Structure 1
Amino acid sequence: MKNGMNASERTFWKKYLAKAKLDLSYAAYTKVQKSWTDENPVCAFNRLYFIREGEGYVRIGDQTYYPKPGDLYLLPAGSDQAYGTISDNTFGKYWCHFSAKIGDLDLFQILQTSPCLKVQNPEELVTAFEQLIAYSQSESLTSEFRAYSILMTFIADFIEQNQSVKLNLTSTPTFEKMNKVLIYMEQHIADNVSVDTLSRIAHYHPNYFINAFKQFTGYSPIQYMNHLRSEKAKDLLMTTELNVSQIADALGMELSYFSRMFREQTGFKPTAFRDLRPKTIDNSE
């Protein structure tokens, strides 16, 4: 996923995925009964299972898995989910149910992963699960913050340690259409791109396009183009010796407008941002 993206695309997607809204339903440790079995077509929430002992199976779609102690399994929302026992030596597992949505989409519809990973530090995960369980049962005003912080760490660790992670840009027609728009904007960063042009690329009416674009990116088209330009400008300021006027020209902007836009986006004047570059050490003396 990372290698196929340029810097602007990575910046967009990492911020977009971080918009996921979490809702923790349950968290517990359970030594399951022999009767533990169920099927859940198109399950509305995610299940996270950390296996500590025993044996059994989980099924995601048409694939059946037999988790081992030390495995962490994610059964993603929107999938057909099933589970059950295969002997008297049943699972002992930490588990939680949660939703993670970006708008109307489930996070793990957009970001597809393999369902399992071998936990690198199992005792640390045990401690984290115990904390999650405690916070989920706490009446403290800050307990929700603490629980969501742990859950967010679970999700980040699962993604980082996963062997197969890819963006599913065809999860909805909107994704495919908007991705074409974002690519076009990236390729025409120095041009005066109109809303009419962008709406035609997405095959939307201009008025509808503006609302759909803002729901998808969190920005209006103009704000997003300025975001792209400020990211490009930061790169040029840090990696080249082009002066501020030349950078403004490269981005198709008047110098005064560029300077004002850059300060609004970053909180720095362009020259002040360049001063943040690490100073090279002269070892010639």
Structure 2
Amino acid sequence: MKSDMNASQRTFWNKYIAKARIDVDYPSYTKVSRSWNDEIPACPVNRLYFIMEGEGFLKIGDQTYYPRPGELYILPAGSDQAYGTISDHTFGKYWFHFTAKIGDLDLFQIVQTNPFIVVKDPAALQQTFEKLIAYRRSDALSAEFRVTGIVHELIAEFMESNTSVKLNLATTPTHEKMNGVLRYMEQHMADQVSIETLAQLAHYHPNYFINAFKQFTGYSPIQYMNHLRSEKAKDLLLTTELNVSQIADSFGMELSYFSRMFKEQTGFKPTAFRDLRPR
């Protein structure tokens, strides 16, 4: 995923999209009938199709695709979707429906991709789907962990193999406001930034802002600021010769508070973390 983000921003967004809540329905293999066709305006679920044989069409919005065997498609939730046959040589496909929610948003509202990839190892993916189907039918206590784990792997593979992946960071007014707040915090790590200042940037009441910020990031404002500082401090410890006191000063923090904050964030004292550098 290419972007002009810095390391801290990439780390945040990577963790943010990984919070998607996955719910999976109907994993199956189907040889579709000649009458297989439908139109679904603003489809509420994502549809994933791994084409094994045959021909037909898929439509996402105004764009029509004619999938070939060995291609994996995701039709994103919220899009106008349609599908159908074009001959008696119909699709044989592995498929399932799923939701992937981050707050009120769908994952593929935030992560925008091309709708399909060419699978590198179709036989291996076929085995993965067979495992997915078996786990969904299982009544083992661990079965749902296995199901969601496989779907996470499939989404990761889809994103890594995709020719175009980008973050849509202006999906909603809330996202746009919070992105401005995050940028401000990134630029003022050395300052004592008040909740009131951040709330004004987002045009929220301070009490509402704290809840909205935590829902958006998973952190309270002070936790997120300390997360930013610890990520920056890790970089300074590994790539510069600044001593711990100088690094603490760069954040406008007392040495003892900085050291305690760093250990809470990373599990290491600053000096112990620096010892991890390759020698």
Judge same fold: TM > 0.5, yes or no: yes
The answer (yes or no) to whether the contact 2:3–2:166 under 8 Å persists in 1 is no
Task: State the shift of 1:199 in Å.
Answer: 0.9
SS in 2 for 1:97: strand
Aligned pairs, number: 279
Residues in 2 aligned to 1:243 and 1:199: alpha-carbon distance in whole angstroms: 34
How do residues 71-110 of structure 1 correspond to structure 2 at under 5 angstroms? 71-110=71-110
How do residues 121-140 of structure 1 correspond to structure 2 at under 5 angstroms? 121-140=121-140
Taking only the aligned residue pairs, the percentage that are identical comes to 73
Q: What is aligned with 1:9?
A: 9
For structure 1, which runs of at least 5 residues remain unmatched after alignment? 280-285
Residues in 2 aligned to 1:261 and 1:227: alpha-carbon distance in whole angstroms: 9
Residues in 2 aligned to 1:76 and 1:47: alpha-carbon distance in whole angstroms: 7
How do residues 172-251 of structure 1 correspond to structure 2 at under 5 angstroms? 172-251=172-251
Task: State the shift of 1:167 in Å.
Answer: 0.8
Residues in 1 aligned to 2:88 and 2:63: alpha-carbon distance in whole angstroms: 23
Q: What is aligned with 2:34?
A: 34
Residues in 2 aligned to 1:54 and 1:74: alpha-carbon distance in whole angstroms: 18
Q: What is aligned with 2:148?
A: 148
Q: What is aligned with 2:53?
A: 53
The answer (yes or no) to whether the contact 1:213–1:219 under 8 Å persists in 2 is yes
SS in 2 for 1:73: strand
For structure 2, which runs of at least 5 residues remain unmatched after alignment? none
Task: State the shift of 1:276 in Å.
Answer: 1.0
Residues in 1 aligned to 2:116 and 2:14: alpha-carbon distance in whole angstroms: 22
- Specify the code of the residue in structure 2 equivalent to 1:106: D
Residues in 1 aligned to 2:124 and 2:174: alpha-carbon distance in whole angstroms: 39
SS in 1 for 2:77: coil
- Specify the code of the residue in structure 2 equivalent to 1:245: S
Residues in 2 aligned to 1:117 and 1:271: alpha-carbon distance in whole angstroms: 45
Residues in 2 aligned to 1:273 and 1:74: alpha-carbon distance in whole angstroms: 41
Residues in 2 aligned to 1:263 and 1:171: alpha-carbon distance in whole angstroms: 35
Length-normalised TM-score, structure 2: 0.99
Q: What is aligned with 2:20?
A: 20
The answer (yes or no) to whether the contact 1:54–1:69 under 8 Å persists in 2 is yes
SS in 2 for 1:125: helix
- Specify the code of the residue in structure 2 equivalent to 1:87: S
The answer (yes or no) to whether the contact 1:2–1:10 under 8 Å persists in 2 is no
After TM superposition, the runs of 4+ consecutive aligned structure 1 residues lying more than 2 A away are none
SS in 1 for 2:196: helix
Length-normalised TM-score, structure 1: 0.96
Structure 1 residues 129-182: Cα deviation after superposition (integer angstroms, max 9, x where no partner): 010011111111111111111110000000011011111112111111100110
- Specify the code of the residue in structure 1 equivalent to 2:128: A
